[in-house]
Amino acid sequence: MKFYNFLLIITVLLSSCKKESQTIVSDDFVTAIDSLKLTSKDIKKINYKDIALDAKTNAIIADWQAYLTVANGIQNMVTPDFTFFNADVDLFNSTIKDLEETIPEAINTQPIEARVLVLKTMLLKFQEIESLKTSTKKEKLIAIKQVLSAQSNLNLQINKKIEKDNQVIVKPY
């Protein structure tokens, strides 16, 4: 009789231990899935210099539709809404191509062309990382930071160009 009681106690202990370990594994799996999802808090933690366009640039940028579309897509990226990058690949690619080809004449300089090229590259890189199912949260955050920094650098260069054009420097004879 003692043997049966001992066997019963061991069976109960082993079965209860097994149930707990299954629960822990499923909880870890749920946390792992949640940790891959990007939130607006994660994106707001990104440290970069956010440079906006001056009011003086509005007249020049107003006709540059490709830039406005890209800027809107980047602004939505902070929420995080990546539909600009994922919705229609052909539309995304044509917008990126137009961004490079339709720079307004008033600001069409080599430094601005270089910043547009960098922005285009970072947008394409982010789109590729976003479309991959194997990309990690850290990779996405790094790519988002690169896109935001590239846009800030382009805005800074446009602001510099407009400011320099508005300067009146009197040269002595």
- For residue range 65-124, list pLDDT tens digits in order: 999 999 999 999 888 888 888 888 899 999 999 999 999 999 999 999 999 999 999 999
**pLDDT value of residue 81:** 86
C-alpha to C-alpha distance for 58 and 20, rounded to whole angstroms:
62
When mean pLDDT is compared over 2-11, 45-54, 151-160, the highest value belongs to 151-160
Output the pTM of the full model.
0.75
Report whether pLDDT(22) > 70: no
When mean pLDDT is compared over 18-27, 56-65, 105-114, the highest value belongs to 105-114
Q: At what angle do helices 110-131 and 65-77 cross, to 10 degrees?
A: 40
Residue 79 three-state SS: coil
Q: What is the dihedral of CA 155, 161, 163, 164, to 10 degrees?
A: 160
Tell me if 153 sits within 8 A of 115, measured CB to CB.
Answer: yes
Tell me if 143 sits within 8 A of 125, measured CB to CB.
Answer: yes
Q: At what angle do helices 65-77 and 89-101 cross, to 10 degrees?
A: 130
**pLDDT value of residue 16:** 66
Q: What is the DSSP string of 92-151?
A: HHHHHHHHHH---GGG--HHHHHHHHHHHHHHHHHHHHHH-TT--HHHHHHHHHHHHHHH
Report whether pLDDT(19) > 60: no
